[in-house]
Structure 1
């Protein structure tokens, strides 16, 4: 039996699209929210808009351009190289991003009567991003409940999954081809399988290859 209403924090990428399908299977009503924070590739917002349109999901786009001003990074500035040096956080880290996104998603959720907020953050393949950790999400969940006196539940269906397991979940949800062909994960703004060499594409591809290999092995055994 489906639950009430949920808001999905939605970028149009592999993880958030998988979460959108996950939410659609579990909730009677689902809306998505995308944040415009000056990301390098506007195609990300266009991709999110097209996916929600095709899935008949109400879509909100919120202006978060102040984040770009406060926290310059490789995701918003063309003059900052995308890199991840040993012992350092990736240059793609946007300080406070998930805290702000989830907070504004919660404000929206309360206005439309949605108790659940769904996000695709993951601690297994999180590359050191501090605001993707389970302890952070749980802490913010309590803070949001107290700040608005509302029983929010932040759902993190991917928290303990690696990329191969995320592909497996998409397949279980009947969304494997959709996620592979329609989403945008690439830091260089190339849809589907992407550029093939940026960190996001390498992680996505390795997960896909691992999942397909495991699926073949399982089929061979079966």
Structure 2
């Protein structure tokens, strides 16, 4: 039997690439998506469709009540999403307090219940400047904790931790992945806005790879 692993899957480019990598590595995949009260559910719809096409187990867990405790981000509260490059200071408004520690903790608990010993997570170097819970030191410390938090050790696997979104897209294109099946924009409108930091970083990755982004944009 194939070894079981949990993949945290948002429906975006990075976790889509991680999910497909884990599939190609031969694991039995249990994809896990979270409704944490984010601005829109469009990314969850993309996640659901992608998992159906891949034939992997998928759960979407509603933890939106957590917003009573961790508001103040433009992704969860009534605050305008900043526009501009991903690394700009203004993008700190998109930080959701302690989000990845919370999501990883639940994913690890799920892994233990499944008798899986790995949780895949799509952090990358482009996140390091703005998001403390995507930095290597955070991942390493979480790995230390997850080795002792249960009777069974669980490893947090971050295959793209030290590379950029440009490199992740390069890896995905080599796997012939279709990124029309992903949603990145912080806004959940019919088309991607093309202006928020997430869109800007995505468009830069496609430009650097000399490939046209298959998503439709407002501008």
Change (3 A) 1:111 1:174: same
Return structure 1 stretches of 4+ with deviation > 2 angstroms: 83-89, 123-127
> Partners in 2 of 1:144 and 1:66 — Cα distance?
25
Q: How does 1:1-222 map to 2 (within 5 A)?
A: 4-72=3-71, 73-77=73-77, 79-83=78-82, 87=89, 90-175=92-177, 178-179=178-179, 181-190=180-189, 194-212=192-210
Q: SS at the partner of 2:148?
A: helix
Structure whose residues are more often helix by fraction: 1
> Partners in 1 of 2:48 and 2:88 — Cα distance?
36
Q: SS at the partner of 1:146?
A: coil
Please, what TM-score do these two structures have when normalized by structure 1?
Answer: 0.86
Q: How far 1:168 moved relative to its partner?
A: 0.5
Which of 1 and 2 has higher RCO (CA within 8 Å, sep 6+)? 2
Pick which of 58-67 and 85-94 moved more. Answer: 85-94
Change (3 A) 1:122 1:67: farther
- Aligned residue pairs, count: 207
What is the Cα-based RMSD across aligned positions, in Å?
2.1
Give the unaligned 5+ runs of structure 2.
Answer: 212-219
> Partners in 2 of 1:41 and 1:63 — Cα distance?
13
- Check whether the contact 1:184–1:190 (CA below 8 A) recurs between aligned residues: no
Q: How far 1:190 moved relative to its partner?
A: 4.8
1:218 corresponds to which residue? none
Please, what TM-score do these two structures have when normalized by structure 2?
Answer: 0.87
